[in-house]
Structures are given as structure tokens and as C-alpha cells.
Structure 1
Amino acid sequence: MRRFRRKREFATAPFGGPIAHLGYFRTETVQRRGWLKDAEYADLVALCQFLPGPASSQVGLAIGMHRAGFLGALAAFVAFTLPSAVLLVLFALGISLFDSPSTQGLLTGLKVVAVAIVAQAILGMAKNLTPDKTRATIAVIAAGCALLLPGSAGQVIAIIFGLAAGYFFCRSSTTATGGNLHLPVPRIVGIVSLVLFAILLLGLPLLLAATGSSVVVLVDSFYRAGTLVFGGGHVVLPLLHNGVVETGWIAEQDFLAGYGIAQAVPGPLFTFAAFLGTITTVGPNGTLGATIALLAIFLPGFLLLIGVLPFWNSLRQRAWAQAAMRGANAAVVGVLGVLEQEIYQYQTQNH
């Protein structure tokens, strides 16, 4: 029960985005509890930054697995995710109440907050992820891809370009941290997780084309968004915007209002999917839609984490893997810049 209580504290304390979450995790698990050594924790963070997906949630999942195996991982995920997801679902269910003139000011304020927060995220990420001319150039070219090819195609091409450019042009002598991960994931479980990740990524569009199911269309949209996220939770915004706003599932003003609320609650930004799943006009909505969207967006990152854990200690030493991720992270800055421009244009045209 003590472990579960500690995970509940993880859920209610961290405001301020993934950096704040990771700092809080380190304070609790390294300094206060001694569950991990500093080098082991740094190694774990490096792995979750390397993989697509919500880094802070992946770190929390891995800490839970380190403490109590797969049940501990499940407890960590539920405790870290549930509070913010519930708050966002409640807000989504009551969003119709915001149609009155007296509450339009609040919605307008939330939209302005959304624009400001994205801009701040881009500036912070640009400073950390594009510190030299090579990576700045990758970011600019990636932004061009996203502008010339609107929608998810341009975003995917931008990230693939970043991976390739990083592989060739972002080599350095930087070495990995000195820790080693010791987590109870057999190699066969890792292989099965990677195979399942690929089957869902490739098979969901085929299943959708064959069935036209409203459930499959919801799962496919959020699964693909969770698959293509590099560099932090804010990167999911252009993917979600493309998947639910540009397709007409959700109104732009509701998307921006929900994002503003997502910034005001503790927990990972990926729980924004619960808000979107609640109010979508495609597929199940309400609490069922929220549950489907939430599980679908987290699933690819968790499958990749479990799949890579048995092999990470050898992979992390390879210079090509580190270089490719530098390029992908730089491309993310460019994609986010395009999203900020789109949101700003919408705001200036409607106010």
C-alpha cells in the first residue's frame, strides 16, 4: 500500500510540464526514497527522451516497473494519469455551459494562454534542441516540409527527414550516461511489444479501410498521434490538431480552450486526449470516447518502452542512434513553429 500511496502523490504534485515531472520523480525516487541511483535515473530519462511518446509518463511507468514489476507499472500509470484525465473529462462534459456571454471571456483567456504557452515551449525547445547551425537548419527545413505538405503527411516527412539528417550530420563525441537499467522485462516480452506496436501502426489504417468502424477511426487517429511524438508532450499538439480539428471532429475554439485547461491541471499533457475523446463528433464520445482516446495515445509509447528496455544498454552506446535523435528533436522544433503560426492566424482572424 505504501508504494501505491507514493504513486498517488506523484499524480497530484507535478505542475509545470514534463521537466517539472522529471525533477519531482528524481527528488522522490533518487533523493528521498533511494529507489534508483542518480546514474540509473539519468539512464532511464535518456531512454525515454530517445523514444517517441510522453517522456515523463514513460519514466513513471518504468519506475513503477522497477519497484513492483508490471503491476507496479500499471499502478504508476493510473495514479499519474487519472487525476488530470478526470478533470479534463469533467470540463469537456460541461463545456456547453460556456456558451453564455458571461463565460466567453474565460474561453478567450484560455485561447490566449494556449498561444502563449506553445510559443514559450517552442523558444525553450529551440534553445535546447537547436544549439548549433546544423540543427537550426534541420528545424527550418522541417518547418518547410510541414508548411508545403499540410496535415499529418508533412509532419511525418519532417520527422523522418530529421532522423536521417541527424544520422548523417549530428554525430558528436558525446557519450551516454554511466548507469545501467535493471528492469524485469524478458527479451521475448520486448520483442512481442515491438511486433504489436508495428502491427497496430500498419494494421489500424487497413482495418479502418475494411470496416469503416467509428471505434477504429478514433483509435487510429490517437494511436498515430502518440507514435510520432518526439521531444516532449507539446509536440503532440500539431498531430492532434491535424487529427481532430482539420478533420472537423472538434471545433478550433474548443480545442484551444481544452488545451488551456490541460495546462492548468497536474499530470502529463497527453491527458488532453481525454478531453478531445469526450467531445469528438466521430466515434464514441463521452467517457467511453475519453477512455479510448487516452489509452490509444499512451499505448505506442509504452509498447516501445517495454520493447526497447531489454536491449537499451547496448543500443544507447551507439553513436548513430544518438545522432538520429538529435536530428529528430531539431525537426520537432520546426513542426511546432508551424503549429504556432496556425494557431496565431486563427486567433487574429476570429478576434
Structure 2
Amino acid sequence: METRKGRYFLYLKDVLLLSVTAFGGPQVFLAMVLDTMVKKRGYITEEDLWELNALCQVLPGPTSTQTISAIGFRIGGPLLAYFSLFVWILPATLLMIIAAFLIDFLQENTPGALNFAKFIQPMAIGFIIYAAQKTIFKMIKTTEAMMLMMFSAFISFFYNSPFVFPVLLLVGGIATSLKYHKQPKEEGDKKLVISWSNFYLWGGILVLAAVLGALTKNQSVLLFENFYRNGSLIFGGGQVLVPYLYTEFVEFKKFLSSEEFLTGYAISQGIPGPTFSISSYVGALSMRNFGLGGFLMGGFIAAAGIFLPGTFLIFFVIRFWDQLKKYRPVRAALEGINAVSCGMLIAAAYLLFEPLEANLFNILAIVCTYLLLQFSRLASPLIIVIGILAGIAYNWLATGFFLPAS
């Protein structure tokens, strides 16, 4: 028993180290997991890692977080999985809450405080375009997928309500599931043995949060429901989350300004850990009217709401995935879901750029960021730091910081 407990503790230490060093997105994250948890520690096999990651990619929610939770589940069951989830998300959550507090404090106490973000706001668009390009080249393989992507982008341009997105995902999945006969058949017993407890837990919390929010109108409950719903619908990773959050919290509810959102998104690209951590930033600013306690409450409520659905769903599906993936309509539906997600990414780049001035400065900042990401070996955090330093220097010059007092 002591040996098993020691192994669990060592695993949680590895998760913590990963949470403060995993810069650079899902590709770097997977490389680090492969090196530490497969080759060095031997928690799982390399084949198991790719299988778990593939499963997490086809479920809604944050892929890296679900992968960590799934590894913990395989090693030590649900309790270890929940502990690993907490350890993995805590550093990034705290950093984004602190960022939200500092941004709000600067705006309240320093005129023109967001001038330091003059560069990183358009840079955030560059990150989105780069993510969209990578995702599109990976996911769009057929004419049908291309058409669905364009349809999704068009609808998202003109009907950017948070309630449109789940409908688009459903339409995309159904559209490609109809051509399931093109999927190769797999041999083996297709009888599904399903344990529904985690599905009921996921669905029960979703319904309960919606009902309580409607009855009480309590902002904390409504905030949890908003993020829990988004966490239940996001396919394609953190970059796909951006249009959802922007539409709901900037365009629809106006809890944040466009400048605040873009600044937070850019900062989230420069910290380690899960990219979904931007949710804590949005949640903290959404409850800023309640003071410091509101920042903390909003940040942690958003983190719980955005990360729990994917965890419940991975616990639900992991038990019968080997049987489920043999059904051709299930595999075929993924193509449409991914295509719609790509369309939302294209719309996100446009919607986030729209509030910015279409001047040469912003366009150059976007293009230069994209080129650095595409052709240089500079890590994302370093690019963000360069942008922040450039913004600070610009602000000093613009306010006459270097001019002698008269």
C-alpha cells in the first residue's frame, strides 16, 4: 500500500512540474508527457498515451486536461484523476486570476493603462490565425469538410450568438455521419457495456445549474452554468473556446471590453498549463464588482465550470471507448464536428479583429506575430514578452517619459 501511495504522490509531483513548465501548446505538452510519464516513469505505454489522447480529442472539453485526468484514472482510479486535475489546472488558474486583477487595477488607477497591451492585442489575432491554419490543415481533408467549414464560418460571422454554436456542431456531426459507409469496417464484438453514472453526473449538473440560475438569478450560479455549458460543447481545444467566450462575455453580456479580452488571451498564450485557463481570467473580470473576493470566486467558478464537464465525460467514455469507436457513424461524425470547429476559428479571427482599428500598425503586428510563429523557433511566451516590452516602451515614449521635465 505504501508503495502504491508513493507512486501516486510521485505522479502528482510530475503533474505539478508539467503544469509550470508546459509552454507551447498541445504539441509540446504531448512531447513532455511522452518523455516524463511514458519513457521516464512508465506510468502507461506509448500506445496507451496515443489512444487516450485520440479519445480526448474526439470529446468536448480541454484535451490536455482530459489526457492528464485519463492517465490518473488509469493509474489510480477516479480519486487520483481528480487530484491530478486539480494540480494541473491550479497554477494557470491562479496566474490568470492575478492577471485579471492587475489589468483591472491598472485601468482603474492609471489612465491609458492598456497602452502596454498596444502590441499584444493585435498579436492575439496572429495567434488565432496561426492556430486556425494548423487546425485546418490537420482536420480538413475532404470537399464536404471544406464546405461545412465555410458554412460554419459564414453563420458564425452573422449570427454570433452563443446558442448558435451547439446547433452548428450538431448539424456538422449529423451531416458527415450520413456517409458512414465510407469508413472501414472493424472486426470484433460490438456489444456495448455502458456504465452511465458519470454521464448522469455530467448531465445532472448541467440541468441543475441551468434551473438554479434561472430561478435565483445569482451571478455566481449563472457564471458556473455559462462555463459548464461551454466546457460541455467545445470541440477542438482552447483556440475554439475563444469565439464562444468572446461572443458570450464581450458581445452578448458585455462583462469585458474587447481590449480586456484580447489582452487576456495574449497573456494566456504566454503562461504554462492548459490553454482553457483564459476562462479564469474571463470569470474573474465578470465578477470584479464584488471586489477581491469576486475576482477569486469568479476565477475559480470559471475553472470548475470549464474543466469539470470534460473530466466527467472522459470518465464516462473511457470505460467503453474500445467498443464505441467500432461504430462507423461515430467515427464519421467527427469529421463534421471538426470542420465546424475550424469554421468557428475563422470567424473568431474576424470577430476579434473587428473592434481594432484597421490601421497599418495593427495589421503589421498581426502579420509579424504569425510569421514569428510560423517560421521562427521563438517560443510563444517569449513572443508575448517581446510584445509587452514593446508596448511598455511605446507607452513611455508616447507619454513623454524620456523627456526632461520643463
Q: Quick check: TM above 0.5? A: yes
For residue 210 of structure 1, report the CA deviation from its aligned partner.
1.9
Which position in structure 2 is the counterpart of 1:153? 163
- Distance (whole Å) between structure 2 residues aligned to residue 332 and residue 129 of structure 1: 10
Which position in structure 1 is the counterpart of 2:19? 11
Deviations 1:226-268 (A, max 9, x none): 1111011111111111221121111111111111111000011
Which position in structure 2 is the counterpart of 1:39? 47
Residue in structure 2 matching 1:73, options 60, 77, 81: 81
Whether the 8 Å CA contact 1:218–1:282 is kept in 2: the answer is: no
Query: Which amino acid in 1 is paired with 2:36?
Result: E
Residue in structure 2 matching 1:210, options 215, 218, 237: 215
Whether the 8 Å CA contact 1:125–1:333 is kept in 2: the answer is: yes
Whether the 8 Å CA contact 1:142–1:161 is kept in 2: the answer is: no
Which position in structure 2 is the counterpart of 1:48? 56
Which position in structure 2 is the counterpart of 1:260? 266
Distance change (3 Å), C-alpha of 1:130 and 1:94: same
Distance change (3 Å), C-alpha of 1:25 and 1:283: farther
For residue 194 of structure 1, report the CA deviation from its aligned partner.
0.4
| Helix, strand or coil at the partner of 1:152 | coil
Question: For residues 157-176 of structure 1, what are the structure 2 equivalents within 5 Å?
Answer: 157-169=167-179, 172-173=182-183
Residue in structure 2 matching 1:20, options 14, 28, 50: 28
| Helix, strand or coil at the partner of 1:310 | coil
- Residue 280 of structure 1 pairs with residue 286 of structure 2: yes
Distance change (3 Å), C-alpha of 1:102 and 1:198: closer
Which position in structure 1 is the counterpart of 2:146? 136
Distance change (3 Å), C-alpha of 1:170 and 1:337: farther
Distance change (3 Å), C-alpha of 1:219 and 1:36: same
- Distance (whole Å) between structure 2 residues aligned to residue 329 and residue 16 of structure 1: 22
- Distance (whole Å) between structure 1 residues aligned to residue 128 and residue 316 of structure 2: 31
- Distance (whole Å) between structure 2 residues aligned to residue 80 and residue 107 of structure 1: 28
For residue 309 of structure 1, report the CA deviation from its aligned partner.
1.6
Whether the 8 Å CA contact 1:14–1:21 is kept in 2: the answer is: yes
Whether the 8 Å CA contact 2:288–2:295 is kept in 1: the answer is: no
Whether the 8 Å CA contact 2:122–2:353 is kept in 1: the answer is: no
Q: More deviation in 136-145 or 202-211?
A: 202-211
- Distance (whole Å) between structure 1 residues aligned to residue 288 and residue 209 of structure 2: 16
Which position in structure 2 is the counterpart of 1:111? 121
- Distance (whole Å) between structure 2 residues aligned to residue 319 and residue 209 of structure 1: 39
| Helix, strand or coil at the partner of 2:318 | helix
Q: State TM-score, norm by structure 1.
A: 0.90
Which position in structure 2 is the counterpart of 1:242? 247
Distance change (3 Å), C-alpha of 1:47 and 1:8: same
For residue 19 of structure 1, report the CA deviation from its aligned partner.
2.3
Deviations 1:12-52 (A, max 9, x none): 22111122212221222222222222221111111101110
Q: State TM-score, norm by structure 2.
A: 0.79
Distance change (3 Å), C-alpha of 1:349 and 1:224: farther
| Helix, strand or coil at the partner of 2:319 | helix
Which position in structure 2 is the counterpart of 1:182? none
Which position in structure 2 is the counterpart of 1:191? 196
Query: Which amino acid in 2 is paired with 1:106?
Result: F
For residue 174 of structure 1, report the CA deviation from its aligned partner.
5.6
| Helix, strand or coil at the partner of 1:299 | helix
Which position in structure 1 is the counterpart of 2:373? none
- Distance (whole Å) between structure 2 residues aligned to residue 322 and residue 242 of structure 1: 30
| Helix, strand or coil at the partner of 2:317 | helix
| Helix, strand or coil at the partner of 1:89 | helix
- Distance (whole Å) between structure 2 residues aligned to residue 103 and residue 326 of structure 1: 44
- Residue 325 of structure 1 pairs with residue 334 of structure 2: yes
Larger-Rg structure: 2
- Distance (whole Å) between structure 2 residues aligned to residue 50 and residue 75 of structure 1: 23
Whether the 8 Å CA contact 2:183–2:332 is kept in 1: the answer is: no
- Residue 90 of structure 1 pairs with residue 98 of structure 2: yes
- Distance (whole Å) between structure 1 residues aligned to residue 173 and residue 57 of structure 2: 14
Which position in structure 1 is the counterpart of 2:352? 343
Deviations 1:55-89 (A, max 9, x none): 11100011112222223212321222111111111
Which position in structure 1 is the counterpart of 2:238? 233
Whether the 8 Å CA contact 2:183–2:331 is kept in 1: the answer is: no
Count of residues in Structure 1 that have an aligned counterpart in Structure 2: 341
Identity level (%):
26
